[in-house]
Amino acid sequence: MRPILMKGHERPLTFLKYNRDGDLLFSCAKDHTPTVWFADNGERLGTYRGHNGAVWSCDVSRDSMRLITGSADQTVKLWNVQTGAQLYTFNFGSPARSVDFSVGDKLAVITTDPFMELTSAIHVKRIARDPTEQTEESELVIKGPQGRINRAVWGPLNRTIVSAGEDAVIRIWDSETGKLLREADKESGHKKTITSLTKSADGSHFLTGSLDKSAKLWDTRSLTLIKTYVTERPVNAVAMSPLLDHVVLGGGQDASAVTTTDHRAGKFEAKFFDKILQEEIGGVKGHFGPINALAFNPDGKSFSSGGEDGYVRLHHFDPDYFNIKI
């Protein structure tokens, strides 16, 4: 396949997200300006100007009208996807890391980093249909985990919130009361910071990637460990194909190991694994720096990866990808 290279960001990529229809791709980077691209040919549609810090993540509503972005400048902003206009700004006391719309787009879960005296927290905000009615107040604030919470997403039917972060423990919280419902087993869980989390298309299971060079597949309701995928590199980003039983892991290299490994370490790749057999299918090379973001198009026929090199690489699969057998 011939990947399409998009160099719209000056700084490393942090997050990639496709909209529900799969025709738009939103990219966030450390350069303060989230960008939206057409997902078929990589043409840039526009940029959202307004943040003053690195944008860590974003989410788009199901009708592709609203975009929410979380940034290191301690704000979370709501945007009009079409015009690029800012609709609302939520202010926090510390950098916002992860944002996620609920099913129905009426609520959003936002995590904030530990900063000075503040510990990390998970906030739930109500999103009004009409931006003029938007209020600042939180529906719910959950505190508890130590260290940064890198990702928090809604569970099935918005009943739960799943969080994962620097303390390597995945937690499931009740979204109404904020009570901790479940914690991942320490023995079988990750040993180092969990960097990324992605849900399956139906929400029944999710995949977490960690700096301990592995990714694990969990059941959403019971939080039991289903599968583990092992790589040689710390995992920065994970993605699951909505069409085939494939998981993709993207990662980097420990800075300390650079001089001791061979010169081919510059060819960073996104590794494909069979979801059920846990075996490596192959790798897609091309990035000049560690891969920080991965996303699959909801139709499963293309995927994109964002790297430390500032490039977004959009890959449309060749027909023989769909016939791969182990």
**Amino acid present at 134:** Q
Please select the residue that binds another protein; options are 11, 221, 227, 301, rule is CB under 8 A: 301
Scanning 100-108, 112-120, 202-210, 258-266 for contacts with another protein by CB under 8 A, the matching segment is 258-266
In angstroms, give the least distance from the CB of 272 to another protein.
6
| Nearest residue (CB) to another protein, 3 versus 252 | 3
> How many Cα atoms are found within 13 Å in the side-chain-facing hemisphere of 165?
26
Site for another protein in 75-134 (CB under 8 A): 82-84
CA–CA separation, 126 and 305 (whole Å): 31
Q: How far is the CB of 231 from another protein (least distance, A)?
A: 11
Binding mask 9-48 for another protein (x = CB under 8 A): ------------xxxx--------x-x-xxxxxxxxxxxx
- Tell me the C-alpha distance between 197 and 207, whole Å: 6
Q: Does 141 bind another protein (CB under 8 A)?
A: no
**Rule CB under 8 A: which of 152-211 touch another protein?**
none
Which residues are within 8 A (CB) of 315 and not within 5 positions of it... i.e. 6 or more apart?
1, 3, 4, 284, 302, 303, 304, 305
Q: How many CA atoms lie within 13 A of 188 on its CB side?
A: 13
Chosen residue from 30, 123, 233, 315 binding another protein by CB under 8 A: 315
Tokens 């929400």 — which residue?
203
Residue count, binding to another protein (CB under 8 A): 52
| 84 vs 147, beta carbon nearer another protein | 84
Contact segment (CB under 8 A) with another protein among 128-136, 159-167, 191-199, 316-324 equals 316-324
User: Contacting another protein (CB under 8 A), which of 164, 170, 284, 291?
Assistant: 284
* Binding residue (CB under 8 A) for another protein from 56, 173, 218, 321: 321
Rounded CA separation 27/53 (Å): 15
Applying CB under 8 A, does 313 fall inside the site for another protein?
yes
- Least separation in angstroms between residue 69's CB and another protein is 13
| DSSP secondary structure, 76-138, as one string | EEEEETTT--EEEEEE-SS-EEEEEEPTTSSEEEEEE--BTTBPPEEEEEE--SSGGG----E
Alpha-carbon span 270 to 70, nearest angstrom? 25
Neighbours of 239 (CB within 10 A): 24
The binding site for another protein (CB under 8 A) comprises: 1-8, 21-24, 33, 35, 37-49, 63-64, 82-84, 262-264, 269, 272, 280-286, 301-302, 313, 315-316, 318, 321, 324
